[in-house]
């Protein structure tokens, strides 16, 4: 199935690993021109080399960028404009979580989580807004978490920040549609990552396979599909929402949690 993005320009923040990297792969496989960014230069270069080897005919730009720095985002947008002449899709993927309950969460963590979740979207958006407005398929698609609707006590600051991001993206969908920019997001559940792989290597029962180990975690957490998500699965949802395939969709938050949600 084609996502109708051949020759289009996609920008992916946090694109050097995990869900972001799988999103870049899918975009390139669909013939899109892709600009990805990240803060870790070594990881960014490793991702660039791997992608060039996998897609030798692709048009790819990898740039260092800190999404919390306005000037860095503006510089990234300038590089994209110079290389590709515009941008059609912005996929905001940069983010992390802070694990702590109320009593163990310092004031600084509340502020840093809110800053990352909100300005990690706002800074790239403002940098690319003119380019997206000039596109006939302009879109902003954000990676959010099920925590936005289903908070966890051990991630209280992140849950609050995720809820704020969900609220903000819904508002942006109304603010920006007049400029021709659709705004959507996905709500992640538990997804395989390098962190989970490291925990697997440190498991107490070395006889357990990866499938058995993650299956036990999924059962313990009550994930009906019995496993964690794979990075390529949310990537598909992101590319769908960013693409013209979702041309009449804005303000949506697509659940990608394997049934982990407990709300209506």
Q: Which two tokens stand for residue 199?
A: 């925990």
Q: What is the rounded CA–CA span in Å between residue 167 and residue 184? A: 11
- Tens-digit pLDDT string for the chain (264 aa): 689 999 999 999 999 999 999 999 999 999 999 999 999 999 999 999 999 999 999 999 999 999 999 999 999 999 999 999 999 999 999 778 899 999 999 999 999 999 999 999 999 999 999 999 999 999 999 999 999 999 999 999 999 999 999 999 999 999 999 999 999 999 999 998 877 888 888 888 888 898 989 898 899 888 999 999 999 999 999 999 999 999 999 999 999 999 999 887
Domains of the chain plus CATH, in order, are 9-191+231-255 (3.40.50.720), 194-228 (no CATH)
pLDDT recorded at residue 193: 83
Determine the distance from the C-alpha atom of residue 42 to the mean position of all C-alpha atoms in its chain, rounded to a whole number: 20
pLDDT recorded at residue 70: 98
How many residues are given for the chain?
264
All residues at 6 or more sequence positions from 264 whose CB lies less than 8 Å from its CB, including other chains = none
Q: What is the rounded CA–CA span in Å between residue 28 and residue 5? A: 10
Do 178 and 247 contact (CB within 8 A), yes or no?
no
Q: What is the rounded CA–CA span in Å between residue 158 and residue 147? A: 8
pLDDT recorded at residue 201: 87
């Amino acid at each position: 199935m084609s996502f109708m993005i051949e020759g289009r320009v996609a920008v992916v923040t946090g694109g050097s690993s995990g869900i972001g990297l799988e999103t870049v792969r899918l975009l390139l496989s669909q013939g899109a021109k892709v600009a990805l960014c990240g803060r870790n230069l070594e990881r960014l270069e490793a991702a660039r080399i791997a992608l060039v080897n996998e897609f030798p005919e692709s048009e790819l730009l990898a740039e260092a960028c800190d999404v919390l720095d306005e000037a860095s985002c503006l510089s990234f947008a300038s590089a994209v404009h110079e290389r590709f002449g515009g941008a059609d899709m912005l996929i905001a993927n940069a983010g992390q979580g802070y694990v702590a309950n109320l009593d163990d969460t310092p004031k600084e963590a509340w502020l840093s989580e809110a800053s990352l979740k909100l300005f990690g979207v706002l800074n790239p958006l403002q940098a690319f807004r003119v380019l997206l407005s000039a596109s006939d398929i302009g879109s902003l698609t954000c990676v959010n978490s099920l925590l936005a609707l289903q908070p966890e006590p051990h991630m209280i600051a992140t849950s609050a920040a995720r809820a704020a991001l969900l609220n903000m993206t819904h508002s942006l969908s109304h603010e920006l549609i007049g400029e021709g920019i659709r705004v959507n997001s996905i709500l992640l559940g538990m997804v395989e990552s390098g962190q989970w792989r490291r925990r697997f290597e440190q498991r107490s029962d070395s006889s357990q396979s990866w499938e058995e180990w993650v299956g036990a975690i999924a059962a313990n957490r009550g994930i009906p599909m019995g496993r964690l998500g794979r990075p390529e699965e949310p990537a598909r949802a992101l590319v769908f929402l960013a693409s013209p395939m979702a041309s009449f969709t804005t303000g949506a938050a697509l659940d990608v949690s394997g049934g982990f949600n407990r709300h209506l």
